[in-house]
Chain A
Amino acid sequence: MKEIKVENRREGNILSRVFDELNEFCRARSLFILHYCTGCGAIELPPVMTSRFDMERLGVQPMVTPRQADILLITGYVSIKTLKRVMLTYEQMGSPKYVIGICSCTVNGGMYWQSYATAKKLDEYMPVDLYIAGCMPRPEAIISGLRSLIRNIELGESNNWKKYYENYDYYLGNQQKLFGDEWQTPVDVIGEAEHYGLVGEGTYGEHTEILQRVQQPLKPLEMRL
C-alpha cells in the first residue's frame, strides 16, 4: 500500500474553518462506540463502561447499530467468517469513523497465529486507528487508548477513515484474497466515494474491476412517478 500523507490543511474560508474546528472539537468529545465482541477482550469492557472507570465522562457511550456508531471496537481474534461481518459493519458506519483493535490477536493474530481460519492483521482489511495491545489489556489501558484517540481526533490527525475510500482497491484486494473473487457487501463503497468526493488514487484498480464484474447492482430505489 502506498502511504498516503494525511492532510491537515483546512479548506475554505474562515467561517467554514471555524465550523470545522467546532465539528472536530465536538467529534472528539462525543464518540459512540460499537463493540464487536469477537473474543476474550469483551470481558474488559463492562468495567470500562460502569462505575469503576466510567467512559461516559470522556463522552464515550455504547451504541447498538453501526449506523449510529463512530468507533468500531474489535475485541479479539477475527476468524475469516467473522471478518465478513466485521467488514459489513465497518462499511455501514457513517464517516468519520474510527477502528480500535483490542488485544494482540488484532495486531498479529496473537495465539491464533498458526490458525488457518483467522485473519491475522486487522489493518490489512480496514484502516485501524488504534491498537491496544495486551492479552488482554486492562481497562486502564482501554481508557488511555480512548484518550489518545480523542487527542488524535481533536488534532485532526485521525483521518484513517478516508484511507478506506482512497485506497479501496488495496483493502478490497486483501479481502478478495481471503473470501474469493465473488466477495461483495451490500454497501456500495465506490458509489459512496464518488458521491462524497472521496475518490483517491487507489480507489480504483484491478480488484475493483473484479468487483464490478461480479457485483449485484446496488442502485438505490429511486422514487418515480
Chain B
Amino acid sequence: MSEFLFELNMLDSLLLLSAVTVAIAILCRVEYISGGVVTLLYLAQLVVVGMMISAGGVFSSHLTPQLFGYELGWLLDGLGLYFTLITVGSALLATLYMAGEWGRRYREQGKSFRALQSLLALNVFTMQLLLASSDLLSLFISWELASWAAFALMALSGGKGLKAALHYMIYAFSGAMLVFAVVAWIATTAVTAAYQLDINGAGILQFSSVAELMQQGIFTIPEQLLMLTLLLIGFGIKMGLLPFHLWQAPAYALSIGPAGAFLGAISSRLGLFAIIVVLFKIFGSITDGSILQSSFGFEFASVTPKTLLAWIAVATIIFPTFVAMRQNDARHLLAWHGIGQGGYMLLGLVMMDSLGSAGGLLHVFNHATYQAALFLAVTSVIYRTGTADLNRLGGLVVRMPLSFMTLLIGIIGLAGLPPMNGFVSKWLVYRSLLDQGELLLFVGAVIGTLGTILSVYKLIHNMFLGSLRKEHEEVREVSWSMLTPMLILSALILLTGLFPGIPLQWVAQGLSAVGLPVAEFNLGGVMADGGSLDMVIVSMVLFSGFGVAALIFYFVGGKSKRVNPLDNYAGGHFLYASNRYHYSNNFYAGLMHLIKPWYKNTFQRLERVVVTLLELTAESLSRLYMRPHSNQLALIIVVLLLW
C-alpha cells in the first residue's frame, strides 16, 4: 500500500483528490464548512491539472482493473486535459458561488446543501474518469456513471426539473444502449481478431487497437459506417445534436442555479469529447471520406460523413438559436443557446483543417466561460427578485450593476463580437469555412450568430434595461461571495479575448493528441495565409477608440443631468409610477409576424410519434404475455430462440 502511494503520478493524484472531494462533500455534516473545504479541494485539483498541462505529454494512471478479461485503463492526453481543465474550473467557480450566502439561503429553505455539493463533486469525478478513459470499455462505464451523476444533479431540483431530468435519462439511456451495442460488437469480434493480428488480447479495446482493427479491415466498410452512426447518435444525444436536442434545454434550465451553470458550461461537451475520440481516434479514415472513395466504386465525395456532420452542426446552430429567441425565461433562453453553440464546436472540428478544428475546440473553453457567467448572473437575479421571467423584470441595472456587467460581457461573448473570446473561436470557424469554400455552411453559421445577437439583446434589455418595476426598488446587488466567481469569469472572457494565444496553447495540445493539424498562433491570435487576426492590436485600438470617444463625450460635450425615469417622452402625456412604461413582451414582433408560422414544433411531434409507437409496441407485447397460457407461449419462444 505504501509503495503504491509513493508511486502516485499526477493523474492518480488528480483522481484521488477528486474522489476525496466527493467523500468529504458526502461525509462533512457541517455544511457551512464543507462549502469552503470543497472549494479548496477543487482549487487543488485545478493546480494539479495546471501542473499537468505545463508538464505536457500523456499521463497514465496506475488504476488498471480487469473486467471480463479486458484491461481497463485511464490515460490523460492533451485533449482530455483540456476538457478536464474546463470541468474543474467550472466546478470550482460554481462551488465558490454557492459556498457563501447563496448556500446559506439554500439551507435555510430546508434543502440539502450536502446533496447538492456531493452530487456536483460526483459529477466532476465521473467526468474526470470519462475524460481519462483510454479504451472503449472504460469509456462506456464512465459514460454511464457520468450520465447517472448528471441525472441526479438535475433531478435534485424536483418538480418540473425532475420531469426534465427523467426526459434526459430516457434519452441518455437509449444513447448508452447504442454505445453499448457497438462496444459489445467490437469486443466479441475483436477477441478472435486479436489472435490473427497478434495484439495483446486484454488491451484489445484500447482506442489505438480498435483503430488498428478498423484499418485492418476486420469490419467491412458498411459495418464500420453503421458503428460510427450508432456511436455518433449515442454521444450526440448528450451533446444535444439535432434531432436529439429536446431534452437539454429544460433539463439544464430547471436545475439548481450554480449546478445549472456547471452543467451548461461543460456537461454536454462530454458528448463532443466522445465524438472527437470516435471521429478522430477510432474512425479517422472514414471521417475524412478517403476510405469511402476507394472502397465504393462511385463518386462518394459529395456526401462524406464530414459534410453530413457539418450540416447537422449547422442545423444545431440555427434551430435552437431561433427557439431561444422566443423564450420568455432567461434560463431557458440561455440553455437553448447552449445547444446552438455546440453546433459551432462540431462544425469547426469536422472541417478538420488547422483553423477550423482550433476554432471548434477553442469554442468549448470560451463557451464554458461565458455560459457559466451568464447562468450565474441570471441566478443572481433570481436570488434577489425570485424570477427569471423576462416579462416580469426590467431596469435592474441601477440596482445590480455588477451582475449587469457580467451579463453584458457574457452576452458579447455569446454573440461572438469583438473583443470577447467568443469572437476569436467563431472567427476561426468562419475562416475555415471560407478557406474550404463552404458558402452555405458559412451563411448558416452567421445566421446563428445574428439570431444570437437578437436574442441576447432581448435578454439584457428585458432584465436590466428599460424601466425598473416598483417591487424591485429595494433590490440590492448580490454579496461578494457570489460576485467573485462572476467577476472572475468576466475577466476570463475579456482576457482570453484579448490574448487568445493562452487557451490556443491548450487547444494545440488537444489537437495534436488526436492528430489534427495545429494552426500557427501567437499571443494575440492566429497567423494564416489569406488573412490573420491579432486580437491584442484590434482590442487595443477598440479600447482607445472608446477612450477617445469618452474624452469627446465627457469633455467637449456639456454637462448633463441624471433625471427620473418619469421624465420621459410620451408624446406630451404625463407618466405616473403606477403605469408601466416598458416594452418587453413579444420583443421582436415584426420578425415574428413573418417567421412565427415557420416554427412547426417538428421535433416535438417526431418525439411524440416515436413515444406513441413505443407505447403501442409495449402494449401489444404486454397483451401477448398477459394472456392465459402465457407460460406455454414463453416456452415456445425460448425453444425457438434456442433452436
Answer whether residue A85 sits at the interface, using C-beta atoms and an 8 A cutoff: yes
User: In B575-603, which residues have CB < 8 Å from any A CB?
Assistant: 575, 577
Q: How far is the CB of B321 from chain A (nearest CB, A)?
A: 32
- The reply to whether B567 and A218 form a contact with Cβ atoms under 8 Å apart is yes
Residues of B within 8 A of A192 (CB): 561
Given A191-B561, A196-B561: A186 in contact with B566 (beta carbons within 8 A): yes
Residues of A within 8 A of B575 (CB): 186
Answer whether residue A188 sits at the interface, using C-beta atoms and an 8 A cutoff: yes
1/0 per residue, CB under 8 A from B, across A193-204: the answer is 001100000000
Of chain B, the residue at the smallest CB distance from A225 is: B477
Residues of B within 8 A of A67 (CB): 569
Give the total of B residues in contact with A, Cβ under 8 Å: 24
Of chain B, the residue at the smallest CB distance from A64 is: B569
- The reply to whether A196 and B398 form a contact with Cβ atoms under 8 Å apart is no
Given A186-B566, A196-B559, A218-B564: A223 in contact with B398 (beta carbons within 8 A): yes
Q: How far is the CA of A220 from the CA of B562 in the complex (A)?
A: 6
Answer whether residue A221 sits at the interface, using C-beta atoms and an 8 A cutoff: yes
Answer whether residue B402 sits at the interface, using C-beta atoms and an 8 A cutoff: yes
Answer whether residue A6 sits at the interface, using C-beta atoms and an 8 A cutoff: no
User: In A11-68, which residues have CB < 8 Å from any B CB?
Assistant: 65-67
Q: How far is the CB of B473 from chain A (nearest CB, A)?
A: 9
Answer whether residue B468 sits at the interface, using C-beta atoms and an 8 A cutoff: yes
Residues of B within 8 A of A159 (CB): none
- The reply to whether A188 and B399 form a contact with Cβ atoms under 8 Å apart is no
1/0 per residue, CB under 8 A from A, across B487-527: the answer is 00000000000000000000000000000000000000000
Answer whether residue A224 sits at the interface, using C-beta atoms and an 8 A cutoff: yes
User: In B69-117, which residues have CB < 8 Å from any A CB?
Assistant: none
Answer whether residue A222 sits at the interface, using C-beta atoms and an 8 A cutoff: yes
Q: How far is the CA of A84 from the CA of B565 in the complex (A)?
A: 19
Interface range for A: 20 to 34
User: In B434-480, which residues have CB < 8 Å from any A CB?
Assistant: 468, 476-477
Q: How far is the CA of A89 from the CA of B575 in the complex (A)?
A: 13
- The reply to whether B572 and A85 form a contact with Cβ atoms under 8 Å apart is yes
Given A85-B572, A192-B561: A92 in contact with B567 (beta carbons within 8 A): yes
Answer whether residue B401 sits at the interface, using C-beta atoms and an 8 A cutoff: yes
Answer whether residue A185 sits at the interface, using C-beta atoms and an 8 A cutoff: yes
Q: How far is the CA of A180 from the CA of B401 in the complex (A)?
A: 41
- The reply to whether B569 and A221 form a contact with Cβ atoms under 8 Å apart is no
Q: How far is the CA of A218 from the CA of B564 in the complex (A)?
A: 6
Answer whether residue B5 sits at the interface, using C-beta atoms and an 8 A cutoff: no
Answer whether residue B362 sits at the interface, using C-beta atoms and an 8 A cutoff: no
Of chain B, the residue at the smallest CB distance from A217 is: B564
Q: Which A residues fall within an 8 A CB radius of B?
A: 65-67, 84-86, 88-89, 92, 185-188, 191-192, 195-196, 216, 218-225
Q: Which B residues fall within an 8 A CB radius of A?
A: 395, 397-399, 401-402, 468, 476-477, 559, 561-569, 572-575, 577
